[in-house]
Protein backbone atom coordinates (compact mmCIF):
# COMPACT_ATOMS: atom_id res chain seq x y z
CA UNK A 1 0.00 0.00 0.00
CA UNK A 2 1.73 3.27 -1.11
CA UNK A 3 2.12 5.88 1.64
CA UNK A 4 0.47 9.28 1.29
CA UNK A 5 3.81 11.02 0.73
CA UNK A 6 4.77 8.51 -1.98
CA UNK A 7 1.38 9.17 -3.61
CA UNK A 8 2.22 12.87 -3.73
CA UNK A 9 4.84 11.93 -6.33
CA UNK A 10 2.97 9.36 -8.36
CA UNK A 11 3.70 10.86 -11.80
CA UNK A 12 7.40 11.17 -12.50
CA UNK A 13 8.88 12.72 -15.63
CA UNK A 14 12.56 11.95 -16.31
CA UNK A 15 14.38 14.38 -18.62
CA UNK A 16 17.29 12.74 -20.42
CA UNK A 17 17.48 9.45 -22.26
CA UNK A 18 21.15 8.73 -21.52
CA UNK A 19 22.49 6.04 -19.20
CA UNK A 20 21.48 7.66 -15.92
CA UNK A 21 18.11 9.02 -17.07
CA UNK A 22 17.08 5.63 -18.40
CA UNK A 23 18.30 3.80 -15.28
CA UNK A 24 16.42 6.22 -13.00
CA UNK A 25 13.27 5.87 -15.10
CA UNK A 26 13.49 2.09 -14.72
CA UNK A 27 14.00 2.19 -10.97
CA UNK A 28 11.15 4.71 -10.52
CA UNK A 29 8.86 2.36 -12.45
CA UNK A 30 9.97 -0.54 -10.23
CA UNK A 31 9.05 1.64 -7.26
CA UNK A 32 5.48 1.73 -8.58
CA UNK A 33 5.52 5.21 -10.08
CA UNK A 34 3.96 6.15 -13.39
CA UNK A 35 6.99 7.24 -15.42
CA UNK A 36 7.46 9.27 -18.61
CA UNK A 37 10.97 9.41 -20.06
CA UNK A 38 11.81 12.40 -22.26
CA UNK A 39 14.66 12.14 -24.75
CA UNK A 40 15.59 14.56 -27.52
CA UNK A 41 16.71 11.82 -29.87
CA UNK A 42 13.77 10.32 -31.77
CA UNK A 43 15.70 7.20 -32.82
CA UNK A 44 16.42 6.46 -29.16
CA UNK A 45 12.72 6.78 -28.33
CA UNK A 46 11.82 4.47 -31.21
CA UNK A 47 14.29 1.85 -30.00
CA UNK A 48 13.15 2.06 -26.38
CA UNK A 49 9.48 1.83 -27.43
CA UNK A 50 9.85 -1.00 -29.92
CA UNK A 51 12.70 -3.09 -28.47
CA UNK A 52 12.73 -2.16 -24.77
CA UNK A 53 16.40 -1.30 -25.05
CA UNK A 54 18.66 1.74 -24.99
CA UNK A 55 21.57 0.06 -26.72
CA UNK A 56 23.60 3.25 -27.12
CA UNK A 57 23.74 4.14 -23.43
CA UNK A 58 22.85 0.89 -21.63
CA UNK A 59 24.11 -1.86 -23.93
CA UNK A 60 23.09 -5.41 -23.09
CA UNK A 61 20.07 -4.41 -20.97
CA UNK A 62 16.48 -5.21 -21.95
CA UNK A 63 13.76 -3.74 -19.77
CA UNK A 64 10.29 -5.01 -19.09
CA UNK A 65 9.13 -2.04 -17.01
CA UNK A 66 6.11 -0.11 -18.23
CA UNK A 67 7.42 3.32 -19.31
CA UNK A 68 5.98 6.07 -21.50
CA UNK A 69 8.41 7.79 -23.89
CA UNK A 70 8.13 11.30 -25.30
CA UNK A 71 10.12 13.95 -27.14
CA UNK A 72 7.70 16.74 -26.13
CA UNK A 73 8.79 18.78 -23.13
CA UNK A 74 5.22 20.07 -22.82
CA UNK A 75 4.33 16.60 -21.41
CA UNK A 76 6.23 17.62 -18.28
CA UNK A 77 3.33 19.79 -17.18
CA UNK A 78 1.59 16.62 -15.97
CA UNK A 79 4.40 15.64 -13.60
CA UNK A 80 4.30 15.55 -9.78
CA UNK A 81 8.11 15.72 -9.83
CA UNK A 82 10.72 16.09 -12.56
CA UNK A 83 14.06 14.28 -12.55
CA UNK A 84 16.53 16.36 -14.59
CA UNK A 85 19.21 13.97 -15.88
CA UNK A 86 21.09 15.67 -18.72
CA UNK A 87 24.76 16.74 -18.44
CA UNK A 88 25.35 19.53 -15.91
CA UNK A 89 26.27 22.17 -18.48
CA UNK A 90 22.91 21.77 -20.26
CA UNK A 91 20.90 22.44 -17.08
CA UNK A 92 20.18 26.14 -17.58
CA UNK A 93 19.10 25.80 -21.23
CA UNK A 94 16.80 22.88 -20.51
CA UNK A 95 15.26 24.61 -17.50
CA UNK A 96 14.56 27.68 -19.63
CA UNK A 97 12.72 25.62 -22.23
CA UNK A 98 10.90 23.64 -19.53
CA UNK A 99 9.81 26.81 -17.77
CA UNK A 100 8.40 28.14 -21.05
CA UNK A 101 6.67 24.89 -21.92
CA UNK A 102 5.39 23.74 -18.57
CA UNK A 103 5.74 26.50 -15.90
CA UNK A 104 7.72 24.63 -13.30
CA UNK A 105 5.98 24.53 -9.93
CA UNK A 106 6.72 20.93 -8.88
CA UNK A 107 10.02 19.77 -7.31
CA UNK A 108 12.87 19.39 -9.79
CA UNK A 109 15.31 16.66 -8.78
CA UNK A 110 18.78 17.57 -10.05
CA UNK A 111 20.59 14.35 -10.93
CA UNK A 112 23.59 15.68 -12.89
CA UNK A 113 26.93 16.02 -11.08
CA UNK A 114 28.70 19.24 -11.90
CA UNK A 115 29.09 22.99 -11.40
CA UNK A 116 27.93 25.48 -14.03
CA UNK A 117 31.07 26.59 -15.86
CA UNK A 118 29.98 30.10 -16.77
CA UNK A 119 28.92 31.15 -13.27
CA UNK A 120 30.36 28.72 -10.68
CA UNK A 121 26.81 28.10 -9.49
CA UNK A 122 25.49 24.86 -8.07
CA UNK A 123 22.68 23.46 -10.22
CA UNK A 124 20.15 24.25 -7.46
CA UNK A 125 21.15 27.91 -7.76
CA UNK A 126 20.67 27.73 -11.52
CA UNK A 127 17.20 26.25 -10.91
CA UNK A 128 16.28 29.07 -8.54
CA UNK A 129 17.27 31.65 -11.17
CA UNK A 130 15.35 29.97 -13.97
CA UNK A 131 12.28 28.65 -12.17
CA UNK A 132 11.89 30.30 -8.80
CA UNK A 133 8.73 28.41 -7.87
CA UNK A 134 10.17 24.94 -8.34
CA UNK A 135 11.54 23.36 -5.17
CA UNK A 136 15.13 22.16 -5.62
CA UNK A 137 15.93 18.54 -4.87
CA UNK A 138 19.09 16.53 -5.51
CA UNK A 139 19.66 12.83 -6.09
CA UNK A 140 23.28 11.78 -5.66
CA UNK A 141 25.40 8.94 -4.33
CA UNK A 142 27.48 5.94 -5.35
CA UNK A 143 25.40 4.52 -8.18
CA UNK A 144 26.49 3.45 -11.63
CA UNK A 145 23.65 3.59 -14.16
CA UNK A 146 24.40 0.08 -15.32
CA UNK A 147 24.14 -1.30 -11.75
CA UNK A 148 20.85 0.50 -11.12
CA UNK A 149 19.38 -0.57 -14.47
CA UNK A 150 20.31 -4.19 -13.71
CA UNK A 151 18.62 -3.97 -10.32
CA UNK A 152 21.82 -4.35 -8.28
CA UNK A 153 21.57 -2.95 -4.73
CA UNK A 154 22.21 0.81 -4.54
CA UNK A 155 21.78 3.53 -1.91
CA UNK A 156 21.65 7.27 -2.64
CA UNK A 157 20.98 10.58 -0.93
CA UNK A 158 17.84 12.51 -1.89
CA UNK A 159 18.07 16.05 -0.58
CA UNK A 160 15.39 18.71 -0.90
CA UNK A 161 14.75 22.19 0.44
CA UNK A 162 12.01 20.85 2.72
CA UNK A 163 12.08 17.67 4.76
CA UNK A 164 8.56 16.78 3.57
CA UNK A 165 9.70 16.73 -0.06
CA UNK A 166 12.92 14.85 0.71
CA UNK A 167 10.97 12.19 2.64
CA UNK A 168 8.19 12.04 0.02
CA UNK A 169 10.59 11.63 -2.90
CA UNK A 170 12.59 9.03 -0.99
CA UNK A 171 9.46 6.97 -0.33
CA UNK A 172 8.21 7.44 -3.88
CA UNK A 173 11.48 6.28 -5.46
CA UNK A 174 12.41 3.52 -3.00
CA UNK A 175 12.45 0.13 -4.73
CA UNK A 176 13.59 -3.29 -3.51
CA UNK A 177 17.15 -2.67 -4.72
CA UNK A 178 17.18 1.14 -4.60
CA UNK A 179 17.39 2.74 -1.17
CA UNK A 180 17.26 6.55 -0.87
CA UNK A 181 18.23 8.38 2.34
CA UNK A 182 16.48 11.73 2.84
CA UNK A 183 18.33 14.97 3.61
CA UNK A 184 17.76 18.72 3.54
CA UNK A 185 21.40 19.54 2.72
CA UNK A 186 20.89 20.50 -0.93
CA UNK A 187 24.32 22.14 -1.31
CA UNK A 188 26.20 19.34 0.47
CA UNK A 189 24.55 16.68 -1.68
CA UNK A 190 25.68 18.48 -4.85
CA UNK A 191 29.25 19.38 -4.03
CA UNK A 192 30.31 15.77 -3.34
CA UNK A 193 29.07 14.60 -6.75
CA UNK A 194 30.65 17.52 -8.59
CA UNK A 195 34.08 17.25 -6.97
CA UNK A 196 34.41 13.47 -6.91
CA UNK A 197 34.32 13.52 -10.71
CA UNK A 198 37.35 15.82 -10.80
CA UNK A 199 39.18 13.78 -8.16
CA UNK A 200 38.39 10.52 -9.98
CA UNK A 201 40.26 11.84 -13.02
CA UNK A 202 43.32 12.33 -10.79
CA UNK A 203 42.98 8.80 -9.35
CA UNK A 204 42.58 7.32 -12.82
CA UNK A 205 45.77 9.10 -13.92
CA UNK A 206 47.69 7.67 -10.95
CA UNK A 207 46.51 4.16 -11.80
CA UNK A 208 47.16 4.67 -15.52
CA UNK A 209 50.74 5.74 -14.71
CA UNK A 210 51.07 2.63 -12.48
CA UNK A 211 52.02 4.62 -9.38
CA UNK A 212 50.62 1.99 -7.01
CA UNK A 213 47.72 1.45 -4.64
CA UNK A 214 49.36 3.55 -1.89
CA UNK A 215 49.38 6.63 -4.12
CA UNK A 216 45.77 5.99 -5.14
CA UNK A 217 44.64 5.78 -1.50
CA UNK A 218 46.64 8.89 -0.56
CA UNK A 219 45.08 10.84 -3.41
CA UNK A 220 41.56 9.70 -2.48
CA UNK A 221 42.08 10.76 1.16
CA UNK A 222 43.64 14.12 0.27
CA UNK A 223 40.89 14.55 -2.32
CA UNK A 224 38.32 14.05 0.41
CA UNK A 225 40.06 16.75 2.49
CA UNK A 226 39.81 19.06 -0.53
CA UNK A 227 36.14 18.25 -1.14
CA UNK A 228 35.38 18.83 2.55
CA UNK A 229 37.11 22.23 2.63
CA UNK A 230 35.17 23.54 -0.36
CA UNK A 231 31.88 22.05 0.77
CA UNK A 232 32.16 23.50 4.28
CA UNK A 233 32.97 26.94 2.83
CA UNK A 234 29.72 26.63 0.88
CA UNK A 235 27.79 25.72 4.03
CA UNK A 236 27.48 21.94 3.58
CA UNK A 237 26.92 19.71 6.61
CA UNK A 238 29.70 17.40 7.78
CA UNK A 239 27.46 14.30 7.87
CA UNK A 240 26.52 14.82 4.21
CA UNK A 241 30.20 14.81 3.26
CA UNK A 242 30.91 11.56 5.09
CA UNK A 243 27.70 10.06 3.68
CA UNK A 244 26.63 8.51 0.39
CA UNK A 245 26.84 11.61 -1.80
CA UNK A 246 30.28 12.56 -0.41
CA UNK A 247 32.70 9.89 0.73
CA UNK A 248 30.52 7.09 -0.67
CA UNK A 249 30.58 8.39 -4.22
CA UNK A 250 34.23 9.48 -3.98
CA UNK A 251 35.36 5.99 -3.01
CA UNK A 252 33.30 4.37 -5.78
CA UNK A 253 34.40 6.71 -8.53
CA UNK A 254 38.06 6.88 -7.49
CA UNK A 255 38.44 3.10 -7.56
CA UNK A 256 36.49 1.73 -10.50
CA UNK A 257 37.15 1.52 -14.22
CA UNK A 258 33.34 1.46 -14.55
CA UNK A 259 33.56 5.23 -13.93
CA UNK A 260 33.91 7.35 -17.05
CA UNK A 261 35.83 10.00 -15.13
CA UNK A 262 38.27 7.45 -13.71
CA UNK A 263 38.67 5.94 -17.21
CA UNK A 264 39.34 9.37 -18.69
CA UNK A 265 42.09 9.87 -16.07
CA UNK A 266 43.44 6.38 -16.76
CA UNK A 267 44.06 7.40 -20.37
CA UNK A 268 45.79 10.63 -19.26
CA UNK A 269 48.01 8.52 -16.99
CA UNK A 270 48.94 6.36 -19.96
CA UNK A 271 50.18 9.49 -21.74
CA UNK A 272 47.22 10.43 -23.93
CA UNK A 273 46.43 14.13 -24.12
CA UNK A 274 43.13 15.55 -22.93
CA UNK A 275 42.77 17.66 -26.07
CA UNK A 276 42.97 14.51 -28.22
CA UNK A 277 40.52 12.64 -25.97
CA UNK A 278 38.05 15.52 -26.09
CA UNK A 279 38.39 15.87 -29.86
CA UNK A 280 37.62 12.19 -30.35
CA UNK A 281 34.25 12.56 -28.60
CA UNK A 282 33.96 9.62 -26.26
CA UNK A 283 31.91 9.19 -23.13
CA UNK A 284 30.84 12.02 -20.84
CA UNK A 285 33.44 12.86 -18.15
CA UNK A 286 31.80 15.62 -16.10
CA UNK A 287 34.99 16.24 -14.08
CA UNK A 288 36.73 17.56 -17.19
CA UNK A 289 34.03 20.25 -17.43
CA UNK A 290 33.98 21.09 -13.70
CA UNK A 291 37.69 21.09 -12.77
CA UNK A 292 38.54 24.68 -13.68
CA UNK A 293 35.37 26.22 -12.30
CA UNK A 294 35.82 24.27 -9.04
CA UNK A 295 39.25 25.89 -8.68
CA UNK A 296 37.80 29.33 -9.46
CA UNK A 297 35.09 28.76 -6.87
CA UNK A 298 37.78 27.71 -4.38
CA UNK A 299 39.75 30.89 -5.14
CA UNK A 300 36.64 33.00 -4.55
CA UNK A 301 36.11 31.34 -1.17
CA UNK A 302 39.81 31.28 -0.27
CA UNK A 303 39.91 27.46 -0.34
CA UNK A 304 42.98 25.74 -1.75
CA UNK A 305 42.20 22.82 -4.11
CA UNK A 306 45.61 21.53 -5.23
CA UNK A 307 44.42 18.26 -6.79
CA UNK A 308 41.60 19.96 -8.69
CA UNK A 309 44.13 22.56 -9.89
CA UNK A 310 46.36 19.87 -11.36
CA UNK A 311 43.38 18.14 -12.99
CA UNK A 312 42.26 21.47 -14.49
CA UNK A 313 45.73 21.92 -15.99
CA UNK A 314 45.75 18.36 -17.32
CA UNK A 315 42.34 18.64 -18.98
CA UNK A 316 42.64 22.22 -20.23
CA UNK A 317 46.35 22.74 -20.83
CA UNK A 318 47.48 19.18 -21.60
CA UNK A 319 49.84 19.22 -18.60
CA UNK A 320 51.82 15.96 -18.96
CA UNK A 321 51.37 13.32 -16.24
CA UNK A 322 55.04 13.51 -15.09
CA UNK A 323 54.76 17.25 -14.51
CA UNK A 324 51.43 16.76 -12.75
CA UNK A 325 53.01 14.30 -10.31
CA UNK A 326 56.02 16.54 -9.68
CA UNK A 327 53.74 19.52 -9.05
CA UNK A 328 51.76 17.57 -6.43
CA UNK A 329 54.72 15.95 -4.68
CA UNK A 330 56.83 19.12 -4.43
CA UNK A 331 54.19 21.28 -2.79
CA UNK A 332 55.28 22.77 0.55
CA UNK A 333 54.81 20.36 3.45
CA UNK A 334 51.84 21.13 5.65
CA UNK A 335 49.84 19.84 8.61
CA UNK A 336 47.23 17.16 7.89
CA UNK A 337 44.71 19.05 10.03
CA UNK A 338 44.84 22.83 9.62
CA UNK A 339 45.14 24.74 12.90
CA UNK A 340 41.75 25.74 14.37
Ligand X SMILES: NC(=O)C1=CN([C@@H]2O[C@H](COP(=O)(O)OP(=O)(O)OC[C@H]3O[C@@H](n4cnc5c(N)ncnc54)[C@H](O)[C@@H]3O)[C@@H](O)[C@H]2O)C=CC1
Ligand Y SMILES: O=C(CO)COP(=O)(O)O
Would you say 294 is a known binding-site residue?
A: no
Active site (annotated) includes residue 128: no
- Give me the 121-160 binding string for ligand Y, x by CB under 6 A, dash otherwise: ---------------------xxx----------------
- Give me the 53-72 binding string for ligand X, x by CB under 6 A, dash otherwise: ----x---------------
**What is the nearest approach in angstroms of ligand X to the Cβ of residue 285?**
9
Would you say 33 is a known binding-site residue?
A: no
Would you say 304 is a known binding-site residue?
A: no
Toward ligand Y, which CB reaches closer, 142 or 168? Answer: 142
- Give me the 237-266 binding string for ligand Y, x by CB under 6 A, dash otherwise: ------------x--xx-----xxx-----
**What is the nearest approach in angstroms of ligand Y to the Cβ of residue 176?**
20
Rounded to 10°, the helix 186-208/306-317 angle is 60
> Which residues have CB under 8 Å from 45's CB, separation 6+?
17, 39, 69, 70, 71
Neighbour-count burial of 193, counting CB atoms closer than 10 A to its CB (0-12 exposed, 13-18 middle, 19+ buried)? buried
Q: Distance (Å, rounded) from C-alpha 170 to C-alpha 327?
A: 43
Edge-to-edge strands, sheet with 108-110: 67-70, 34-38, 11-15, 81-84, 108-110, 136-140, 154-160, 178-183
For ligand X, which residue of 2, 10, 32, 40 counts as binding (CB under 6 A)?
Answer: 40
Q: Distance (Å, rounded) from C-alpha 136 to C-alpha 83?
A: 11
**What is the nearest approach in angstroms of ligand X to the Cβ of residue 17?**
4
Q: How many residues bind ligand X (CB under 6 A)?
A: 25
143 binds ligand X (CB under 6 A): yes
Would you say 181 is a known binding-site residue?
A: no
Annotated catalytic residue, options 11, 78, 103, 196: 196
16 binds ligand X (CB under 6 A): yes
112 binds ligand X (CB under 6 A): yes
Residue 299 host element (H or E): helix 286-300
Asked if 60 and 19 count as a contact pair (C-beta separation under 8 A), the reply is no
For ligand X, which residue of 145, 159, 199, 274 counts as binding (CB under 6 A)?
Answer: 145
Q: Distance (Å, rounded) from C-alpha 86 to C-alpha 16?
A: 5
284 binds ligand X (CB under 6 A): yes
Q: Distance (Å, rounded) from C-alpha 336 to C-alpha 334?
A: 6
- Looking at the DSSP assignment, which residues form a beta bridge with residue 154? 178
**What is the nearest approach in angstroms of ligand Y to the Cβ of residue 307?**
16
DSSP codes, 25-56: HHHHHHTT-EEEEE-S-HHHHHHHHHHSB-TT
Q: Distance (Å, rounded) from C-alpha 122 to C-alpha 136?
A: 11
Would you say 18 is a known binding-site residue?
A: yes
Active site residues: 196
Residues that bind ligand Y (CB under 6 A): 113, 142-144, 197, 200, 249, 252-253, 259-261, 286
Residues that bind ligand X (CB under 6 A): 16-21, 39-41, 57, 85-88, 90, 94, 111-114, 143-145, 284, 286
Amino acid sequence: MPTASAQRFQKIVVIGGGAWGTALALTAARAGRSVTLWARDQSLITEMRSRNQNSRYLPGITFDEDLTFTDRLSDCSKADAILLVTPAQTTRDILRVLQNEAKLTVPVVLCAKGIERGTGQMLSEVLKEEARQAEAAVLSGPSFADDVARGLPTAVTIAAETDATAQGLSQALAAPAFRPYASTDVIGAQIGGALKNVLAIACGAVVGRKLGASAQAALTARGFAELTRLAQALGARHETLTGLSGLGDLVLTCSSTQSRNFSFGLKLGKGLLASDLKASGGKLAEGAHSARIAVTLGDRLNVDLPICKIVARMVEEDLPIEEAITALMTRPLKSETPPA
